[in-house]
Structure 1
C-alpha cells in the first residue's frame, strides 16, 4: 500500500494523445513531449518517484492507460480528470488558446488548485473492467438493433428488407453471445454473483438491468441514499432564486442508468409488491404519473444500494471463516 505526502509540492500536467504525452512540470512550467510508450514514460517520470508529486491527466478513452500503469508502478499518485470539468475550469479564466503544451499547463494548474479534493486514480479489477466492456458493447449492439428495426419499417426500405433482416439476425446472435458471456463472468466472480443476487431480489430489476448496474455503478453498496439517487440521475435538484421557486428536476447522473430504471419502474408498478402499492398511493394523492414513476425509480435504486450494502459485511465474514 503506497502512502502519499500530506502536502503536494509539485503537480504534473500530462496531456495524452494516441502517440505522445506532453508533460508540464508545475514547479518550473517547463513542458516536454514524450512518446506514449511505457519505457519512454518511465524514463521521464522516474525523477519524480518518491517526491511529493501529483500527476493529472484527462480521460481519453484508453490512451491514458499506459501512462497510468507507469505512474502506478512508480508509486506516483495520479488523478484522471473529467475533460468536461477541466474545460469548464479553463473557460472560467476566459482562455481559448489550445495546443498540447497549453493543455498540459492547464492540467497542472487544475491539479494544483484542487489537489486536496481530487480523488486519486485506482486500477480497476480486471473482471470488473471486462464486465464494463461487455455491457458497453451490448448497449451498442442493442442501439444498432433499434436503428435497423426502424429502417425496416421505413416505406422505402422494401428493396433492401432482406439485407436488413440478415443484419438483425446477426445482431441478435451477437447480443445472445454477449448475454451468455456476461452471465458466465458474473457467475465466476463471488463478489459479482453476490451483488447480482441482491439486485435480482429488488422488484422491477431484471436480467438486463442487473449486469448494467454491476458495470456502470460499481459503487453500489458504498453510498448513502442521496448519493446513489444522484448518481443514477433520479435525485430532485432544487431550482430556486430569491423568492422564485420552480419545480425540482432530476438531471445528471450516469446516462445509461436512467432509461433502464424507467423500464424497471414500469415493471415494478405492474406487479404485486410494495413499490406498486407506493405508486398507486402517489397517483391517488394526485401526483402526475411522470413524478410518481420517478419516485419509484428512486426507490428501486435506493433499495438496491441498501441490499448490496447489507450483504457485503456478511460476505466478508464468510470469506474470513473460509480462509
Structure 2
C-alpha cells in the first residue's frame, strides 16, 4: 500500500494540513477539537491503516510538541524536521511564495524526497528532565548577565538592586539543582548512567544531565551516528583540485555546547584526552580544530561507556 505523506504547518491558532500525493488540503484549529477532527479525517482515508500514513511537521517549540504528543499517543507515525531544511528545499524546487497552506504542501513534498527517520517520542519523565535542564541553563545565563552588570554599575542603588536579584537567582539555582537531584533519583537507569558519565574526568553533573535529557540515544548508536546527531561530524567542501575547510554544524546545539565546555576541562584534567589534544596541536592543527576533535572523541568515549555499562578507566 502506497504511503500518504501528511504535511502539517503548525501555528498557535491553526494547523494547515496537506495530503500528498492525494493533493488534498484543509485547516483545523490548534486545540483539542481540531486534533479530534484531524484524526477523524485521517482515519477516513479509504480505511487506510495508520502505518500507511507518515505525518511530518516542523520543529516550532511547544506548539509542535503538543500536536506531536497527541498524534503519537493515538498510534500515528510522526516525524519532526528542521524548518531551515524545509525552507532550503522550497527554494530548491522554486517555491518562493510562503503561506501556511503552501508550507504544509512543501513539508509533505520534503518528506517524500528525504524520508526522514521516525524517532520514538521522549517519555514524560525525559521531557520533564529536559525542561528542568533547560531552565537551569536559563538561570545560569541570567546570573552571568547580572554579574556582568554588577561589574559595570557605579551607582550604589543599582548595585544593591543587582545584588538582591543575584541572591534570588542563586537561591533558585540551588532549588533547581535539588529538583534535578530528586528527578534523577527517581530512575535507577538514570542514576547508573549519570554515575557512568561522571566517571570520565572532565564530565560533571551538568554535562551528564544534559546528555541524559537531550541525547537519550547515547549508547544505542555507533560513533559516526552519535557524532552526526550531536552536530560534530565534519563536512567538507571540495570541487576539482580545490578543497575548502571542513566545518561542523546542525545537530543538537545544546549537546554541542556542554561538550565544548567538557572538552576544555578534559583537555586539562583527563590524561588521555589531554595527550590527544596536545598531539593535534603539536601536529600544527589550530587550537579550535583540536578542541572540536576532542569533543568528538569525548562523545565517542561516553557513547561506548553507556553502551558497555563500564565506567572510565585510564588507558
TM-score category of the 2 structures, normalised to the smaller one: 0.7 to 0.9
Question: Of residues 161, 169, 176 in structure 1, which corresponds to 2:167?
Answer: 169
* Correspondence list, 1:145-224, <5 A: 145-156=143-154, 158-224=156-222
Higher mean C-alpha displacement, 139-148 vs 10-19: 10-19
CA separation of 1:296 and 1:47: change in aligned 2, threshold 3 A: closer
CA separation of 1:124 and 1:178: change in aligned 2, threshold 3 A: same
Q: For the Cα contact (< 8 Å) 1:138–1:178, is it kept in 2?
A: yes
Give me the whole-angstrom Cα distance separating, in 2, the residues matched to 1:31 and 1:249: 39
The aligned counterpart of 1:123 is 121
Give me the whole-angstrom Cα distance separating, in 2, the residues matched to 1:59 and 1:153: 38
Unaligned runs of 5+ residues in structure 2 are 311-315
The alignment status of 1:99 with 2:93, answered yes or no, reads no
Q: For the Cα contact (< 8 Å) 1:56–1:108, is it kept in 2?
A: yes
The aligned counterpart of 1:83 is 83
Give me the whole-angstrom Cα distance separating, in 2, the residues matched to 1:67 and 1:253: 22
Instruction: Give the drift of 1:159.
Output: 4.3
The alignment status of 1:254 with 2:252, answered yes or no, reads yes
Give me the whole-angstrom Cα distance separating, in 2, the residues matched to 1:25 and 1:248: 39
> Residue deviations 1:16-70, cap 9 Å, x none?
2112212223344332221222233223322423513222222221213443344
Question: SS state of the match for residue 298, structure 2?
Answer: helix
The aligned counterpart of 1:48 is 42
Question: SS state of the match for residue 219, structure 1?
Answer: coil
Q: For the Cα contact (< 8 Å) 1:262–1:293, is it kept in 2?
A: yes
Give me the whole-angstrom Cα distance separating, in 2, the residues matched to 1:222 and 1:300: 16
Q: For the Cα contact (< 8 Å) 2:194–2:205, is it kept in 1?
A: no
Give me the whole-angstrom Cα distance separating, in 2, the residues matched to 1:260 and 1:78: 28
TM-score by length of 1: 0.84
Give me the whole-angstrom Cα distance separating, in 1, the residues matched to 2:111 and 2:118: 11
> Residue deviations 1:220-268, cap 9 Å, x none?
1112222223333443332322112234333333222333223322322
Question: SS state of the match for residue 159, structure 2?
Answer: helix
How many correspondences in the alignment?
Answer: 304
TM-score by length of 2: 0.86
Instruction: Give the drift of 1:186.
Output: 1.3
Computed over aligned residues only, the root mean square deviation of the Cα atoms, in angstroms, reads 2.4
Give me the whole-angstrom Cα distance separating, in 1, the residues matched to 2:284 and 2:57: 50
Unaligned runs of 5+ residues in structure 1 are 313-323
Q: For the Cα contact (< 8 Å) 2:5–2:21, is it kept in 1?
A: yes
Q: For the Cα contact (< 8 Å) 2:201–2:270, is it kept in 1?
A: no
Instruction: Give the drift of 1:188.
Output: 1.4
